[in-house]
């Protein structure tokens, strides 16, 4: 079935643009963002970032991940916080 629609998925194009919607928090940094498992039966996309509430009392890390099947559908999302 290799080469048929829905059997393989890969990241193509200029890449992804990281971004986080935050309400009541500030973005401290984004350490990593990208895709992985390109060319397989699924594709992972994600980013690792740090946020702090307004006022900066503490900082926490998030590792958000999206999993995309060979049809291009998001099959799961994990906020990672």
pLDDT digits (tens, 9 = 90+) for 17-74: 888 888 889 999 999 999 999 778 999 999 999 999 988 889 999 999 999 998 889 9
- Of 4 and 64, the one with more pLDDT: 64
Q: What is the pLDDT of residue 72?
A: 86
**Spatial separation of the C-alpha atoms in residues 63 and 8, rounded to whole Å:** 25
Q: Above 60 in pLDDT, residue 76? A: yes
**Closest residue by Cα to residue 71 from 46, 47, 43, 45:** 43
| Strands, sheet with 25-36, edge to edge from the N-terminal-most edge strand | 25-36, 42-53, 60-69, 74-78
pTM beyond cutoff 0.75: yes
Q: Above 70 in pLDDT, residue 4? A: no
């Amino acid at each position: 079935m290799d080469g048929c629609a829905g059997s393989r998925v890969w990241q193509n194009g200029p890449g992804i643009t990281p971004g986080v919607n935050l309400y009541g928090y500030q973005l401290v940094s984004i350490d990593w963002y990208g895709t992985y498992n390109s060319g397989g039966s699924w594709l992972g996309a994600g980013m690792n970032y740090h946020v702090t509430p307004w006022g900066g009392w503490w900082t926490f890390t998030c590792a958000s991940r999206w999993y995309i099947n060979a049809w291009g559908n998001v099959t799961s999302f994990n906020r990672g916080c």
